[in-house]
Amino acid sequence: MSLLRKLADGLWSLFRKEQVSKELDEELDSFVEMATEEKIGDGMTRADAVRAVRLERGSLEVAKEVVYAAGWESVVEGIWRDIRFGVRSLFKSSGFSAVIALTLTLGIGANTAVFTLLNAVMLESLPVPNPTQLYRLGDNNNCCSMTGTQNDGSFVLYSHPLYEYLRDHTPEFEQLAAFESYLADLSVRGSRDSAPEPYKGEFVSGNYFQMFGIQSSAGRLLTPGDDSPTAPRMAVMSYRTWQQRFALDPSVVGSVLSIDGNAYTIAGVATPQFYGDTLRSDPPDFWLPLVGEPEQWRLQSANVEWLYLVGRLKAGIAPDSVQARLTVELQQWLGGHRDVIPQRDWDEIPRQHIRLTRAARGVDQMQTHYSLALRLLATLSALLLLIACANIANLLLARGLDNQSQTAVRLAVGGTRGRLICQLLTESVLLAAAGGVAGLYVAYAGTHALLLLAFRGAHYIPISARPSVPVLVFAMLLSLATGIVFGIAPAWMASRSNPADALRGAGRATGGRSLKVQKSLIVVQVALSIVLLVGAGLLTRSLRNLEDQQFGFVTDGRLIVSLINLEAAGYTEEKLPALYQRLEEALPQIPGVLSASLSTYSPLEGNNWSEYVSIQGRPPDSSGTAPSWLRVGPHYFQTIGTRLLQGRLIDERDRPGAPRVAVVNDAFARRFFPKENAIGHYFGMTDLGHSGDYEIVGIVEDAKYQDTHGPAYPTFFLPLLQVRPGEPLRGRVSAIELHVAGRPENLEPAVRKGIAEVDPNLTVLRMVSFDEQVARNFNQERLIARLAEVFGFLALILACLGLYGVTAYAVTRRTNEIGIRMALGADRRNILGLVLRSALVQLGIGLAIGIPVALASGLVLASQLYGVKSYDPSILTLAAVILTACALLAASVPARHATKVDPLIALRYE
Amino acid sequence: MANKSSDIVQGTLDMLILKTLALEPMHGYGITVRLEQITKGTFRVNAGSLFVALQRLQRAGLIRSEWKATENSRRAKYYILTPQGRKRLDSETREWGRQVAAITRILEAS
């Protein structure tokens, strides 16, 4: 109550200052008047009485000030006065302020941009009610499909029967939902006549939306009833898809779309923010019930583990007890399903368990993938800001010295040091706030650029560049902290100046303490800059090594087309060969296309199939990783530019009836036939019974298909047409490679048309140049390298500006001394040396500190580097040379000025 | 006029003002005169301290103020003790009594 009243009174006096002041005046006047009258009554003259009252009661003006100062609002007023004074003095030196504010804008903007990304990826929860109740069953991101026991016994992928068992036996969950660990590429068309278009889809259990607790924007969401074999097929559309592809047309709800050739009714649209269970680029456009999954046999199979589980715990339930219970249930279930685990892994069964992990942010996929990159970015941008702070502190120090006489006067007339520091800090914080506000724009643009760099090739990323509340708070606090960091040293130095010295002009002649501080700041800047430069050099070299490496194929003049599963277009095993033939004939007819080929997948598109093999005449061996494999058509190797080392390539003679053959890569040959020639040997997939399936007829050079950092995987290539009976059709051919003349992108429309002419039902998922496809593998590396380059460049400029400023300032202060030296016979070279020496000393100390730090931070980077050692001497030398050259250039300008000092004028200067 | 007036004992001005106002509502000048009269000129109140104290008491809700005419038909701000102020005065008076007794005992002990 009393606090409230104080607050209210204070606010009242702040906002009604006029009236309060008038009242106080009136009260004091009447006080004086009454006192005076009494004295006159005692027989004094009026003038004497007034003087006596003043003597007795003290100056009333002072009394008024004292009354004002007593309330808390006077502190606010003081700050307000400081702010007004600060703004005025900042405007007085507007050029100076603009340079500082610009530096800060870049520094704070860069940091805020990185924070925006960091916040979205690492901190923000899923846009669903009460996300903290969500828990995931499992603690890693093993993908896709597994059998038997799981990594280190920690279950993360579940078979459908196991999911149902856990769902029905764990009442602690309000809902326990299942969904596929990967998204499906869907071929969708609205009506019979329209061309099919590619979309992303996710197959989810019927209670998926109930588990997340979200509402529909239109229509209704999926319910458990929809996930039943007898129910009509229903799908839920994402709001973004509804908006962007269907113009928010309400009649979409209830309409029927053909999805992968099946008729689905659109039940409704999810909430606008909802992007599914995982933060990722290109999130699902459609959610479909699990029962619609193309490989339906998996729903009944206890063998195949392919589902992620996320559940919503009932309020007040401790996750620990649920975790223990889930493991007991898992053990019980495995006990009843021994056949699920291969016999050799039976002793692993007691170790199988379930870890319950927080899923407020959904499945931590991007978090895991980008956490190192984001931490690196945060470090780089923090370094940049520190350098900027050092630079600004230096500028302010220099100006503080120029304002010394003003400061001295203020101290002399009784300003306290505290008030002075407050006032100067207010100025710094004002500058930082201006930089922070402008920095928000930079951050917005910067976040956009970061997203484009980080997710090159994505159509949509569910991360907003618009500053959210946490981002605004971050920018505000950062500005405040920045203002204090760069302002505290200059303010403190200024407050320590001795008024008497300053007024005498003594500060001018000597170097003084503040120059020492300035020089130390330069040393810090140089040290930080060399760290940034070396880091930028290492990351850039590493990226270039990655991009320019020998991939084992040629990317120039190649266009890669990805198709969506052909059975959606109505193809069966019998019809496929005809389609291949038509494509292989029609595509080379397009003007500009030199050759065309088909394959299961293309290099570095993100796809990799692997299978254990058995070599004829050898015992079974499942050690090491399983070799990769794919099917390719004739001319495949010529089209992508992979060279033949030995034997022959797959060509037209490898037809269904012909002897079954395989081409292997060098790594395969070296691994399985280290001492003999692989050609002529037989091998087969999986068990020994098949070991006579394929004869090796050729060896091609190693080409990287999946991992860009490590060596190529052992790989074998099979002819497109020589399929095993019953081999699944799904995904067998999803890539068309084209060798073209000229820019691959220019041929896109013609190729699209050519494919549509072969069959209008084929859905093109994407069409990119081979260069672009490969480049997308290095998004993260490129993001970090580009940012390190930009930051390194800025740091270099700032360091040079700082050195220039301090040197120039030192020269001005030493004009007198230089004049005397020249008068005593020093020539220009001596003077040049004198000035440059000091700059070189700062540079030298900075390098001496910075290089070991750069080496140490190189160790942190080591895991990120490709083909370059963290202590690469050439990069270290280059960075040091660049920094030294720029610094000398910056220092030589004022140094040359110094040599032009006229001794006569210099001596008169004092 | 007593020349040997001294400043009021630190921290007691609030209590003294409350006591003065306990008798009747009073304006600022009246309070100083009253204090000086009662103490026979021992204490003199500085205008600055007085008005700061009045503002402080008012914000604490111990007194309130209103503009009224004086006996000389001049406008002045009168301060009035609130029930809270009266309670505070009682407790402070008791506390003061205890302290004075204690200090006196210390001073009188040889």
Question: What ipTM does the predicted assembly reach?
Answer: 0.81
Residue A54, amino acid:
R
pLDDT digits (tens, 9 = 90+) for A663-698: 999 999 999 999 999 999 999 987 777 888 999 999
Beta bridge partners, B68, equal B76
Q: Which residues of B touch A62 (CB under 8 A)?
A: 48
Beta bridge partners, A725, equal none
User: What pLDDT was estimated at residue A509?
Assistant: 43
How far apart (Å, rounded) are the C-alpha atoms in residues A782 and A449? 12
Query: Which residues contact residue A41 at a Cβ distance below 8 angstroms, ignoring those fewer than 6 apart?
Result: none
Three-class secondary structure of residue A643 per DSSP: coil
How far apart (Å, rounded) are the C-alpha atoms in residues A388 and A479? 12
**Average pLDDT in chain A:** 86
Nearest chain A CA: its distance from B107 CA (Å):
32
Choose between A708 and A98: higher pLDDT.
A708
Query: Which residues contact residue A753 at a Cβ distance below 8 angstroms, ignoring those fewer than 6 apart?
Result: none
Just give the CATH number of B13-108. 1.10.10.10
Three-class secondary structure of residue B35 per DSSP: helix
- A505 pLDDT more than 60: no
How far apart (Å, rounded) are the C-alpha atoms in residues B68 and A692? 116
User: What pLDDT was estimated at residue A665?
Assistant: 95
User: Which two structure tokens, joined as six digits, stand for A893?
Assistant: 């300008």
How far apart (Å, rounded) are the C-alpha atoms in residues A817 and A797? 30
The percent of residues in chain A predicted with pLDDT above 90, rounded, is: 39
Nearest to B26 by CA among B9, B40, B41, B38: B38
How far apart (Å, rounded) are the C-alpha atoms in residues A236 and A429? 51
- A862 pLDDT more than 80: yes
User: What pLDDT was estimated at residue A845?
Assistant: 94
Cα A669 from chain centroid (whole Å): 40
User: What pLDDT was estimated at residue A72?
Assistant: 64
Binary contact (A58, B27; C-beta < 8 A): no
pLDDT digits (tens, 9 = 90+) for A371-418: 888 888 898 889 888 888 888 888 888 777 666 667 777 777 666 777
Q: What is the mean pLDDT of residues A831-836?
A: 85
Q: Does B48 touch chain A (CB under 8 A)?
A: yes
Chain A residue whose CA is closest to B52: A67
How far apart (Å, rounded) are the C-alpha atoms in residues A114 and A378? 6
- A199 pLDDT more than 80: yes
Three-class secondary structure of residue A876 per DSSP: helix
User: Which two structure tokens, joined as six digits, stand for A478?
Assistant: 């950062």
The percent of residues in chain A predicted with pLDDT above 70, rounded, is: 92
Nearest chain B CA: its distance from A416 CA (Å):
22
Q: Does A4 touch chain B (CB under 8 A)?
A: no
Q: Which residues of A touch B77 (CB under 8 A)?
A: 23, 26-27, 30
User: What pLDDT was estimated at residue A533?
Assistant: 92
Three-class secondary structure of residue A200 per DSSP: strand
**A651 phi and psi angles, rounded to 5 deg:** -145, -165
pLDDT band at A290 (very low <50, low <70, confident <90, very high): very high
Q: What is the mean pLDDT of residues A552-570?
A: 89
User: What pLDDT was estimated at residue A824?
Assistant: 85
Binary contact (B27, A33; C-beta < 8 A): no
User: What pLDDT was estimated at residue A336?
Assistant: 86
Nearest to A63 by CA among B79, B40, B32, B21: B32
User: Which two structure tokens, joined as six digits, stand for A904?
Assistant: 């006569």
pTM above 0.90, yes or no: no
Binary contact (B44, A37; C-beta < 8 A): no
Q: Around A665, how many Cα atoms within 13 Å sit in the side-chain half-sphere?
A: 23
pLDDT digits (tens, 9 = 90+) for A221-256: 999 999 988 899 999 999 999 999 889 999 999 999
User: What pLDDT was estimated at residue A722?
Assistant: 92
Choose between B82 and A82: higher pLDDT.
B82
Choose between A15 and B3: higher pLDDT.
A15
How far apart (Å, rounded) are the C-alpha atoms in residues A471 and A625? 45
- A512 pLDDT more than 70: no
Chain A residue whose CA is closest to B29: A31
Query: Which residues contact residue A544 at a Cβ distance below 8 angstroms, ignoring those fewer than 6 apart?
Result: none
**Average pLDDT in chain B:** 83
Nearest to A283 by CA among A454, A141, A465, A460: A460
Q: What is the mean pLDDT of residues A30-48?
A: 83
How far apart (Å, rounded) are the C-alpha atoms in residues A362 and A125? 8
User: What pLDDT was estimated at residue A69?
Assistant: 65
Query: Which residues contact residue A666 at a Cβ distance below 8 angstroms, ignoring those fewer than 6 apart?
Result: A645, A699, A700, A701, A702, A712
Strand A234-237 to A216-219 pairing: unpaired
- A59 pLDDT more than 70: no
User: What pLDDT was estimated at residue A805?
Assistant: 80
How far apart (Å, rounded) are the C-alpha atoms in residues A144 and A861? 31
Nearest chain B CA: its distance from A411 CA (Å):
25
Binary contact (A67, B29; C-beta < 8 A): no
**A683 phi and psi angles, rounded to 5 deg:** -150, 170
Using only C-alpha atoms, chain B has a radius of gyration, in whole angstroms, of 15
Smallest Cβ–Cβ distance between A60 and the set B29, B47, B76 belongs to: B47
Strands laid side by side in the B26-27 sheet:
B26-27, B75-81, B63-69
Binary contact (A37, B72; C-beta < 8 A): yes
Choose between B73 and A503: higher pLDDT.
B73
How far apart (Å, rounded) are the C-alpha atoms in residues A747 and A558? 10
- A820 pLDDT more than 90: no
User: Which two structure tokens, joined as six digits, stand for A296?
Assistant: 């339906």
Beta bridge partners, A312, equal A134, A175
Q: What is the mean pLDDT of residues A106-124?
A: 89
User: Which two structure tokens, joined as six digits, stand for A339?
Assistant: 């056949």
Binary contact (B47, A58; C-beta < 8 A): yes
